[in-house]
């Protein structure tokens, strides 16, 4: 029998005569051969089923081997990340500072060029005041406390230093953008992890006029003429300093006062190659360093390295120049450092 429209060679599908099994479709319904007979289901049950690992490998191929490796690597990275963030830091090494004693009360003015130098040339470029921004030559020799307090910053396992932020009366606030801007710079600098509180022994707490008792030191923006009276001016350079026992004009009790020279705050320093913001951070950290016990100055220890915070970077970052105004602590050895505003610059 033939089908219409097909050639005479077309064949009639072969029908199974054995109807004991259900009918099932063949891949080619016109083929004479019924195809490869299916295996008996009961026969297949006698062989064990393929394991989950085998099925996994059969499904994912080479990825089945890569995934476990990636999983292990991921776990290791996560562990190192968590462990690294929770592992306590190594012991803090004290910044190089000769004769330092944390919390020791100084007895003399620290920071101004030493007295008694008869061969010092005050016209050296290292001591000149750069720029031409205005500042107040002379204030009223009295200070107002900038309102504001803060929580303790740092662990303070040895000492918590209470400090006030003050501005000399008579300064033109437009020269330094106002009291609040000055106070913010001081507070933020001392709160930085690159500042002194990186050392767990040290902590700071800002207080104001409501504090009962005398603060450990007063950070005071001060006119150059008053600084000369409070720090000395035997060598005619605009300096800042720490005076541990400054007696105010009204004859009150001696005060531990950090003098920050407004002329330097506004104009900076020639040897310090950073921007004015970095210089102000240096000025705060350096003079406060004297107030908390780092009483002596440091030379450049390694040529080309960052200058130690207790180096007088206002006047020079070169030992050869520094030896001319601080020969007792710095020797001329040809070493020069790069500017650095922080006690712990890589914290």
Burial of 231 (0-12, 13-18, 19+ CB in 10 A): buried
Distance CA 223, CA 171 (A): 7
pLDDT for the residue numbered 29: 43
**What are the start-end ranges of the H helices in 268-308?**
276-291
pLDDT at 249 (0 to 100): 77
Q: With beta carbons less than 8 A apart as the criterion, state whether 315 and 337 touch.
A: no
Phi/psi at 260 (nearest 5 deg)? -105, 110
pLDDT at 306: 96
Rounded to whole angstroms, how far apart are CA atoms 250 and 180? 26
What's the pLDDT at 110?
79
What's the pLDDT at 237? Answer: 84
**Cα separation, 57 vs 61, whole angstroms:** 5
The mean of the pLDDT values for the chain is 78
Which parts of the chain have pLDDT scores under 50? 1-35, 41-45, 47, 70, 73-92, 96, 98-99, 116, 118
Taking each helix axis as running N to C, give the angle between helix 276-291 and helix 179-191, from 0 to 180 degrees, rounded to the nearest 10. Answer: 70
CB atoms within 10 A of CB 333: 13
DSSP track, 14-78: PPPS--SSPP---S-TT-SS--SPPPPHHHHTTSPPPPHHHHHHHHHTTHHHHHHHHHHHHHHHH
CA torsion 209→214→217→218, rounded to 10°?
30
pLDDT recorded at residue 108:
76
Tokens, residue 258: 């950090």
Is 0.95 topped by the overall pTM? no
Which residue in the block uniquely carries the two structure tokens 């001329």? 332
Pairwise CA distance, residues 67 & 293, whole Å? 58
């Amino acid at each position: 029998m033939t089908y219409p429209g097909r050639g005479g060679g077309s064949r009639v599908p072969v029908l199974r005569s054995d109807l004991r099994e259900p009918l099932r479709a063949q891949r080619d319904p016109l083929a004479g051969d019924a195809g490869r007979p299916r295996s008996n289901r009961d026969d297949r049950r006698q062989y064990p089923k393929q394991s989950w690992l085998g099925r996994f490998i059969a499904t994912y191929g080479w990825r089945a081997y890569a995934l476990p490796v990636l999983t292990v690597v991921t776990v290791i990275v996560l562990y190192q990340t968590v462990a690294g963030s929770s592992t306590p830091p190594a012991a803090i090494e004290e910044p190089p500072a000769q004769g330092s004693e944390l919390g020791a009360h100084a007895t003399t003015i620290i920071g101004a060029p030493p007295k008694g130098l008869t061969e010092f040339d005050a016209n050296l470029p290292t001591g000149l005041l750069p720029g031409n921004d205005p500042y107040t030559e002379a204030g009223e020799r009295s200070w107002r406390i900038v309102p504001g307090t803060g929580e303790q910053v740092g662990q303070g396992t040895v000492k918590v230093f209470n400090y006030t932020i003050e501005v000399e009366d008579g300064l033109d606030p437009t020269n330094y953008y106002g009291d609040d801007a000055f106070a913010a710079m001081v507070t933020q600098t001392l709160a930085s992890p690159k500042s002194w509180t990186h050392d767990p022994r040290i902590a700071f707490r800002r207080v104001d006029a409501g504090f009962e008792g005398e603060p450990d030191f007063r950070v005071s923006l001060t006119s150059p003429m008053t600084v000369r009276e409070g720090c000395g001016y035997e060598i005619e350079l605009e300096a800042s300093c720490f005076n541990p026992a400054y007696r105010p004009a009204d004859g009150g009790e001696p005060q531990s006062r950090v003098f920050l020279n407004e002329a330097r705050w506004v104009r900076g320093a020639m040897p310090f190659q950073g921007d004015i913001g970095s210089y102000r951070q240096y000025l705060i950290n350096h003079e406060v360093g004297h107030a908390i016990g780092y009483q002596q100055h440091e030379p450049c220890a390694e040529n080309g390295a960052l200058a130690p915070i207790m180096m007088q970077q206002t006047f020079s970052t070169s030992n050869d120049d520094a030896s001319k105004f601080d020969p007792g602590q710095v020797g001329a050895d040809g070493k020069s450092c790069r500017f650095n505003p922080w006690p712990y610059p890589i914290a």
